[in-house]
Amino acid sequence: MKILSVNAGSSSLKFTLFEMPEEKELISGVFERIGLKESFYTIKIDGEKNKKDAELPDHKKAFELLMKELKDNKIIDDYSEIKGIGHRIVQGGAYFDKSVLATPENVDIVSKLSSLAPLHNPAAVVGIKAAQAVVPDAVQTLVFDTAFHQTMPEVNYMYAVPYEWYTKYSVRRYGAHGTSHKYVSLKANEILGRKDTKLITCHIGNGASISAVKDGLCVNTSMGLTPNAGLMMGSRCGDIDASIVAYISECENLSAAEINTKLNKESGFLGISGVSSDARDIEDGIAKGDERCILAQNMYVKKIVDYISMYYVEMGGCDAIIFTAGLGENSVLLRKQVLEKLSCLGVKLDEERNNVRGKQTLITADNSKIPVYIIPTNEELMIATDTYNLTK
């Protein structure tokens, strides 16, 4: 059964087509600069990438071109072969604890949740409507970044702010990257051969979050009402003293919205190093002895260790720690620094095993009290799996 996994941004549309349940990736790609000048798309089939210029006035046109490519490349003979389309949705609020069908009522809730994800939810709705117009017979589903975190207990999702902010404005922790945390924790349980596990899953990419997953259910996660909570990230500050906002507003005569932009786009690695939000540039800076890059890295490592130790205590132990996403899968240095700081928990790094990028593997010694694994994430496949199950 052919299932399409879709991630629509305001000017982009990423897609991967799978043959399910074989989990075979047939084609993937991205349409970029939708609604702008000089739009184009890239498609990848059998490892071969092809870039093409195309006029993309809207997402519907992108879907039409995608379907044409599928036919031209003989991946399908007819649109009706696409049985399911799964849409990635950033914010499902407290409404969705699992993937659901894209009924008009559910899509309406996604629209209404736009105030909690103003850049993402409206774009996703545009994507859903475009897909429904071009491939009306496919079952369309909504797969939420927040759903996996809905099992958190109240004590972990509430903020100690006036209670009315929760009842009136839905202020609480929702988390993000849930599809990735779910995927790697399912894989980890497969590796461990059981489901009654205590896992700490570290999604460390440009955006970064850590989750505590007990018996397959999320009990805590580091991102909050928005993704700018918890760890320090590429350009986000993560947890800070909330009063900094009022203080800087006075000092620099900036609005809350302007400060919010700085805390999301000019902080983290970028803010501290003054060099870049990209971990590879930070690592280059460290190699050259740049003190602010060294400080940025040390702060980042400390935050990751803080969250791992917090969740270790919260779950009363840990059966495995998982690293995933850009840095988690590829940064040998970051993993080494984090694991060395966890030696008091009996974690023993194996430097040779850790010297690897983007591959599922164990990176600790056989006598490490907690095994640590790299598990490359695959959010697209998780979306396709949920969609396949709903379509069946």
The set of catalytic residues is 145
Single out the segment in contact with ligand ADP by CB under 6 A; choices: 13-21, 29-37, 160-168, 276-284: 276-284
Q: How far is the CB of 198 from ligand ADP (least distance, A)?
A: 25
CB-based burial label for 344 (10 Å; 0-12, 13-18, 19+): exposed
Stretch that binds ligand ADP, among 35-43, 109-117, 324-332, 343-351 (CB under 6 A): 324-332
Find the part of the chain contacting ligand ADP (CB under 6 A) among 186-194, 215-223, 320-328, 336-344: 320-328
**Identity (one letter) of the amino acid at 229?**
A
d(CA 297, CA 338): 11
* Tokens standing for residue 325: 């996403």
First to last CA, the chain: 9
DSSP 118: T
Give me the least distance between CB of 39 and ligand ADP, in Å please: 21
Judged by CB under 6 A, the chain residues 171 through 230 that form the site for ligand ADP are 205-207
Q: With contacts defined by CB under 6 A, how many residues of the chain interact with ligand ADP?
A: 14
Nearer to ligand ADP, 170 or 206 (CB): 206
Q: Check binding of 9 to ligand ADP (CB under 6 A).
A: no
Q: Is 234 in the site for ligand ADP (CB under 6 A)?
A: yes
Provide the 10 A C-beta neighbour count for residue 388: 22
Q: In one letter, which amino acid is 226? A: T
Ramachandran angles phi, psi of 204, nearest 5°: -115, 90
Which one of 184, 213, 218, 279 is in contact with ligand ADP (CB under 6 A)?
279
Taking a C-beta distance cutoff of 8 angstroms, is the pair 28, 35 a contact?
no
Instruction: State which of residues 27, 62, 219, 325 lies at the interface with ligand ADP (CB under 6 A).
Output: 325
**Contact with ligand ADP (CB under 6 A) among 12, 140, 267, 330:** 330
Taking CB under 6 A as the rule, does residue 357 contact ligand ADP?
yes
The C-alpha atoms of residue 285 and residue 279 are separated, in whole angstroms, by 10
Asked if 15 and 28 touch (Cβ cutoff 8 Å), the reply is yes
Which residues bind to ligand ADP, rule: CB under 6 A? 205-207, 234, 278-280, 283, 325-327, 330-331, 357
